[in-house]
Structures are given as C-alpha cells and as structure tokens.
Amino acid sequence: MSFEIKMPWIIKYRPKKVDDIVNQEEAKSQILTWLHSWLEGRRPEKKALLLYGPPGVGKTSLVEAIVREYDLELLELNASDYRRKEDIRKRVAIASQKRPLFKKMTLILMDEVDGLSPRGDIGGIDELIKIIPNTINPIILTANDPWKDQLRPLREIVSMVEFKNLTLNQVISVLQNICNKEKLECEREALKYIAEKSMGDLRGAINDLESVAEGYGKVTYNIVSLVIKGRDKSIDLWRTLNGVFYAKEAWQAKRAVTNSEEDYETLIAWFNDNVPLKYGDYEDLFRALDSLSRASLFLRRAKSGNWDMLSYVFDLIGPGITFSRKNGELLKNRFSYPERIKVMAQLKGLRESRDRIATLLAKRLHTSQRFVKSDLMQYIIVMLRYGNIEKAAMLSRAYGFNEDDLKYLTGNRFKDIEKEIEILKEGRSGEEKEISKMKSGEEKEKKQVSLDTFGVKSENKEISKKKYRKSKSK
C-alpha cells in the first residue's frame, strides 16, 4: 500500500549550510568562533551560548546547519518537554558528560528556555546552572525573550548572541526563491503582503505561503489579502493540522503541535473533527480518535498539577495521530471548522447577555452571580415569557434590562413586551405632566393667598396709622 508523503516547505527548504542563513552574519561569527574553541580542544570560558531574538529568524536553523556542516551529533530538547529538575538531570546532565562514538562531539541544543516557569518548573533553571560550568560538550540555549527575571542567574554564566529581525526584502527574496523552485505562480505584491504580515518571522511567512499555495494553487494579492487576515488563528491551525497529517517523522509531528500558538483544547477539537475527513480507513480512524481521547485524559491530569503529563499530550496529538494511519491513504478533503467551536461562537452573544443580566440582578438583589445563573434566572425567564404581559413589562423596566437582555429573557415575546414598556413610559410621562400641572396650580393658589394676606396686612397697617394720628391730634 503506497502512502502519500508530503514534506512541509519549512523543512524542505530549511538551510543546509551556515551560509544559507539570512542576515545573521554577526551571530554566525560569534557562534563559529566559540565552536572552534571546542573543536580545537580549548574550552571557552563560557561553556554555553544563549541565542535570543524574535521567532522565525533562524536560531534553531543555524544550529542545525552547523551540526550538519561540522559533522557533530545533535541532542535537541525543548523546554516544554523537559521542564523540571529531574527531566533536565536525566537528559542534559548525562549528555553533557558523554562523548559520541562516531562524531567529533555532541552539541546540546535546548529550545525555548524562556518558557521555563519559576513556579511550575521548580529547580529547572537551577539544574542548568549546575550543569553548564562542568559540561564537556557545548551547550546552546535559545529564547525569544532572554530578559525575564527567572533567567537572570542563567545570563551570568552564558554568552549572549543576538539574532536580528529580517528585513522585508530578505523575506520576499526567500519566498520568491521557493515559488521559483515550486514552479508556482506568485505575484510580487502578494509576497510583499505575506512578508509584511509575518513581521520578520521567516518561518511563519513560509508556512503562510504554503497554506495559500496548497489551498488555491497560486499566490495572488487578492487571495492573500483575504486569507492572511486571520493569520494568527486560521493559518496557525492549518499549519499545525498539515504538519501532523503529512509528517514523515515523529519529531516533525510533535514539533507541529508544540510550536502551535493555540491552546490544547482547541487543537483537540480541530483534530477531532478533521481526522474523519482525512482518514478513510476505519481502523486508522479508530486508532487516531483513541489517541485523541487519551490526549484529553492526560491533559486533565496535567492541569490538575501533574505537568509532566503534558509531554504525553504532545506525543498523542502529534505522532499518535500521524502513525495511526497504517492502512489507507490520506483523503483530499479540506479541513473543516469544528462544530463545537462554531456553536460556542454562535452562543457567545447569549453568554454575554446572561452574564450581564446576572451581574445586574446580583447587585440589585444582594446575592451572587452564580446563584442568579443557577437558580433565579429560570424563574425570571418563566415570569417574562409566560406571565402577565403588563407585569412583565413593569419588571423589565424596573430592572433596567436593555434590548439584548430582553431578547435573551423574553424570547418570542420580545416585541410585545417592548410595546408594553413604551406604553408604560408614555403613561408615566402623562402622569408626570398632570402632577406638574397640579403642582403649578397649587403654587398659583399659594401665591394668591400670600398676596391676599399681604393686602389684609397692609390694610390693617393703614388703619392703625390713622388711629394713631387722631389720638395724637387730640
């Protein structure tokens, strides 16, 4: 039975030699000078390098190119797999003290050390600090952000090597070269658009180019301007799915999962809906879905605090799905958006309305939002949907529900209750006018009374003055 083998472009066009790495001349010079000291038997003062810079600029690719060019043995580890003190001691510490049988020396590469957590991965960085000064093999670490507080003691014992952002023209040049080799129709403006969106991330740009080429057979500006808008989500997910389904080696499938920017629940949902679209053989499908169910189980255990289980999640989602396919070829169906995520997206507005109503009622009734959602909300919905419409309108107006809240609570009765609320508002405004008229009438009467009273008082005052004059004349 023949298998369909497709190598992702990021692997197919990976730099084979040090000279193939773009725009990192200073970094290459620092690393090679340091490496020659090891090869000549003169161990440098700093026995480890920390390569840092934005993702996709060639940190890992340069190390792999050096290993091939200088005939070294590579031990490549990822901080997401080897996080704790015990993990690092088992792999890194042992490898740092062993010489290879057939190669010049072993180069230990540990990716993404800035992903080590000072709390969740207690002792991991401390163990590295113990290993590095005593190693007999060169160690290279990589990080996107080397300035995190937890890496401060590590920075003191390593040599820092900075990788610069790639320029726009350099990214476009690499993309154009790939298009030429693939004999693919590519517009210059489209390549420029992809390069701009990648923001110097060459790996991401190549994956974006491949996603468009795979889906449409050509790369034009009109296509990429529509597709690459959602690069952070849709293209990353496509890249992950494609990397797993078409992986040739286990490490390729696992890297596709570990490099994904999506959370694990989302990845499991995507694979759950797309595995049946790609695996036509029932036995292959059973094995893949069984692997997904086990990944879900280990993920729950990892979230409960047992984080060493996370490595099994990567294995089961990545290589577990890739090598479930043993009998049939991959189907040519397009990837589908998971139904569960579709439903959740459609219900997002309803959930927001429910939460807003719960916040409002909890404040007014001096209770918790949880109580409102679990116990009280159902009674309010029944009152508004099936109770007396006038009272329902009065209740809605009293609590100040807005239009979205009313639609959520009243359902098909929304328009009727909205009309009743308007009638209540008009009636209220009429009452207020009558009250204001009554008040104005009362004010007039009071003024008249005061005027009359003032007139009587004035008249009495005049009479008293006349009496006084008469008595004085006598």
Q: What is the largest CA-CA distance in the chain?
A: 149
Name the pLDDT band for 1 (thresholds 50, 70, 90). very low
136 vs 309, more confident? 136
Q: What is the pTM for the complete model shown? A: 0.50
Q: Give the separation between CA 309 and CA 383, rounded to whole angstroms.
A: 49
Mean pLDDT of all residues in 269-273: 87
User: CA angle at residue 68 from 64 to 71, to 5 degrees?
Assistant: 125
Residue 290 confidence (pLDDT) above 90: yes
Nearest to residue 270, comparing CAs of 251, 247, 306, 244?
244
411 vs 60, more confident? 60
**207-221, 226-240, 410-424: lowest mean pLDDT where?**
226-240
- Token couple for 114: 């800035």
Strands of the sheet containing 139-143, edge to edge, are 73-78, 106-111, 139-143, 48-52, 159-162
Residue 390 confidence (pLDDT) above 50: yes
227 vs 446, more confident? 227
Q: What is the pLDDT of residues 170-205, one digit of tens each?
A: 889 999 999 998 888 889 999 988 888 877 778 888
Q: Give the separation between CA 40 and CA 32, rounded to whole angstroms.
A: 12
pLDDT at 230: 42
pLDDT at 148: 76
Task: Classify domain 24-162 by CATH architecture.
Answer: 3-Layer(aba) Sandwich (3.40)
Q: What is the pLDDT of residues 439-472, one digit of tens each?
A: 566 665 655 555 455 455 555 555 555 555 655 5
Q: Give the separation between CA 51 and CA 162, rounded to whole angstroms.
A: 6
119 vs 343, more confident? 343
389 vs 432, more confident? 389
pLDDT at 439: 59
Q: Give the separation between CA 293 and CA 250, rounded to whole angstroms.
A: 19
Q: Are strands 139-143 and 159-162 parallel, antiparallel or unpaired?
A: unpaired
pLDDT at 3: 40
Residue 207 confidence (pLDDT) above 70: yes
What residue spans define the domains of the chain? Answer: 24-162, 263-339, 347-448
Please say whether the beta carbons of 161 and 27 come within 8 A.
Answer: yes
Residue 219 confidence (pLDDT) above 60: yes
Residue 293 confidence (pLDDT) above 90: yes
pLDDT at 57: 84
Mean pLDDT of all residues in 98-105: 82
- Token couple for 9: 């472009």
Nearest to residue 243, comparing CAs of 224, 226, 262?
262
pLDDT at 231: 44
pLDDT at 287: 92
Q: Give the separation between CA 189 and CA 138, rounded to whole angstroms.
A: 43
pLDDT at 179: 92
Name the pLDDT band for 232 (thresholds 50, 70, 90). very low
**24-28, 322-326, 428-432: lowest mean pLDDT where?**
428-432
Residue 235 confidence (pLDDT) above 60: no
Q: What is the pLDDT of residues 69-81, one digit of tens each?
A: 888 988 887 655 5
Please say whether the beta carbons of 297 and 334 come within 8 A.
Answer: no
Residue 434 confidence (pLDDT) above 90: no
Query: How confident is the prediction for the chain on average, in pLDDT?
Result: 79
236 vs 118, more confident? 236
Residue 39 confidence (pLDDT) above 80: yes
Name the pLDDT band for 428 (thresholds 50, 70, 90). low
For the chain, give the percent of residues with pLDDT over 70: 80
pLDDT at 20: 85
Q: Can you tell me which residue has the tokens 């517009």?
A: 187
Most confident of 13-27, 283-297, 367-381: 283-297
- Token couple for 96: 């740092």
399 vs 38, more confident? 38
